[in-house]
Amino acid sequence: MDLEQHLIDLSDAAGPSGFEGPVREILKDAWQGLADEIETDVVGNLVALRRGGGSEPRRRAMVTAHMDEIGLMVDRIDGAFLRVISLWGVDRRTLLNQPVIVHGERPLPGLIGSRPPHVLPQSERGKFQAIPDLVVDTGLPERELRKLVPIGSPVSIDQHAIRLSSGLVTGKALDNRASTAALTAILEGLSQRPTEWDVEVTATVQEENNHTGIITSAWRTRPDLALVIDTTWAVGVGVSEDRGYKMGDGPLLAIGPNAHPKLFELVLEAAERHEIPLGVEPMTGRSGTDGWFTQISREGIPTAILSIPIRSMHTPVEIVALKDIERAARLAVEVVAALDGGTLGRLALDEEAS
């Protein structure tokens, strides 16, 4: 697999929360031949199962990343323009003058505009306008818009990924297409490695919205442990080293209440054993990732969270280092390939049980 091209394809695809179909199709094509079973569940999660070689009933590990992105939704038609609302997480500072695609009866190119400064009251000049004050202009008259754009149609930013220097890629939705690209690399790596446990690799939906995908997937799968891959802040403009992490220095492993302490140690030891660069990311409470809902599913699931640093998070020009994606995938492969009959005993918090 050409990881860079795969990441670009994933970034370019439109997949706002609840409308992840195009992303799912790219992943489904890429995963063919890499799993024993591939299915799409009732909420839209894409699930790939690789059966282990251990005796039945086998333990099961879940490796997961969300595939949705932030976006907009058509709220109403206002003459020849569309009014939109946020599909969670959209920063209004990034929207003005952005080219977009309106996903109605057919994809329609458009542009986000607003009132020109000449007609704004002095008190509103220099301020970022609220999303309901913005309009999407497709160039079509109201009559055509009403035929082609049902209320509730998703709207995605029309931003194509670009190769930068030094192994960097910029594009929209790298939160979390960087991690879904890592899922594909994990499946490729596992195709060359026998495992004792069953391994379920899942691209989940609606993390940016309400975590619907992971809530249902973790409940159904009932894994014995889980590895969640997401993104975190990279050092950049306005993000100093005391808040972010350097791109190219490897992924980060969460430590804190949302991370199982013994599984944290297991992953950290795997990174050290295989000389994979890995930082530690303190998370003092709910991580804001699918890891939280995995951890508390059913009677509880030992969960670790790996994060890939990206710059300019939740903007159309996020930036990621390919080597960080590769290292996150390699580490995940090493972790699940080493799972055996004694793993759960080693993860027990009750010292006598271990």
Bridge-based pairing state of the strands 225-233 and 303-311: parallel
d(CA 31, CA 51): 15
Tokens matching residue 183: 């899922």
Q: Which of 207, 208, 318, 326 is catalytic?
A: 207
List beta partners, residue 45.
Answer: none
String of DSSP letters for 25-78:
HHHHHHHTTSSSEEEE-TTS-EEEEE--SSPSSPPEEEEEEE--B--EEEEEEE
Q: How many residues does the chain have?
A: 354
What is the spatial distance between Cα 213 and Cα 229, in angstroms, rounded to a whole number? 14
Respond yes or no: is residue 208 known to be catalytic.
Answer: no
Beta strands 37-40 and 46-50, pairing class: antiparallel
Q: Look at residue 167 and give its three-state secondary structure.
A: coil
Q: Determine the Cα–Cα distance for residues 260 and 77; give it in Å rounded to an integer.
A: 48
Provide the greatest CA pair distance for the chain: 74
Query: CA–CA separation, 70 vs 209, rounded Å?
Result: 8
Rounded Cα distance, 139 and 145, in Å: 9
- Among 198, 192, 260, 191, which residue's Cα sits nearest to residue 228? 260
- Cite the active site residues: 207
